[in-house]
Chain A
Amino acid sequence: MAETDQTRIAQQFIEAIPHARALGMRVDALGEGSATISMPWAEHLVGDPRSGVVHGGVVSALMDTSCGAAVMSHPSGPSSTATIDLRIDYMRSATKGQRITARAECYHMTRTVAFVRAVALDEDEANPVAAATGAFTVER
């Protein structure tokens, strides 16, 4: 299957998730055990009204979704996945008005558990906004 087809199918998958749709998430790329998903800045997602920076929870939702997508795109073909744990390090505030992109990679897979890491970026790609590591269940 061509990669663009796979990305299109992943986008349909994302749009079937009410919360991902509510946040306006878009699948930018999908590889073998990796996923890049982004979403726009929005006024109602602001967590600090003084600076207009989006709430950490929004970054969590984007990270969690991209990590889950990375697990689902793994060549071993899991049938479903769920988050066991997710740790997020907030390195700096995402810039007001800029799109946030999460790149996730499933770096190790066992029969039952997937180990995933991710970074969240705004337009200044050299300076990550946040980093995440997580463990996910794998259903076969």
Chain B
Amino acid sequence: MMPMDRREPLDRIKSRRDSALAALVSGVPYLTWLGIRFDRRGDELTAILPYEEKLIGNPMLPAIHGGVTAAFLETTAIIELAWAAMWEDMESGRTVPDAAVAASPPRLPKTIDFTVDYLRSGLPRDAYARARVVRSGRRYASVQVEAWQDNRARLMAQATGHFLMPQG
């Protein structure tokens, strides 16, 4: 691994990381359609799902659709996993996806199975999620993910999933 360059200009570090993240996210039409975006602090990602009427699954309560919650969690897990997998390459200056080059969308992990625990009904407001890669091997990975709305400690849902890592 190449040694870290302590003197690397901050704007270059930020633009490298932001552009790699943008390439991961912007390549997926479904993320754009749901309105999901990612906030980055160093290597920590927080997924944001801004509220929209089309996300509603129970108009009486009203509550966000359980499928939307599952999709939000699964997406957060996949992006976190792909992001964590390319971090080393990105920081050591090896080739990484570039948002400016639309020709080569990055390969994403494939979901093997995904289990969602619904803890509270989703309110008609913004939701947030963070994923943690519990174990990432050469072929398989296990990821845990949590979503919340107003209070970080009051989870809306949590999930665990297993993923097949892209090969080659």
Determine whether the beta carbon of B54 is less than 8 Å from that of A22.
yes
Whether A17 contacts B75 in the complex (CB less than 8 A), given A45-B33, A85-B117, A90-B110, comes out as no
- Residue on B with the closest CB to A53? B110
A47: CB under 8 A from chain B?
A: yes
| Contact flags A24-61 to B (C-beta < 8 A → 1, else 0) | 00000000000000000001111111100011111011
| B66, B105, B115: residue with the most chain A Cβ atoms closer than 10 Å | B66
CA distance in complex: A88, B67 (Å): 11
Q: Give chain A residues whose Cβ lies under 8 Å from the Cβ of B112.
A: 89-90
In the assembled complex, B133 has its CB within 8 A of some CB on chain A: no
Contact A56 B74 (CB under 8 A): yes
Total contacting residues, chain B, CB less than 8 A: 39
| B114 interfacial contact with A, CB 8 Å | yes
CB of A86 within 8 A of CB of B28, answer: no
- Can you pick out 18 interface pairs between chain A and chain B where the beta carbons lie within 8 Å of each other? A17-B65, A18-B54, A18-B55, A19-B56, A46-B28, A46-B29, A47-B28, A47-B29, A48-B108, A49-B27, A56-B74, A58-B71, A60-B67, A63-B67, A85-B116, A85-B117, A87-B114, A88-B70
- Which B residues form the contact surface with A (CB < 8 A)? 27-34, 53-60, 63, 65-68, 70-72, 74-75, 105, 107-108, 110-118, 121
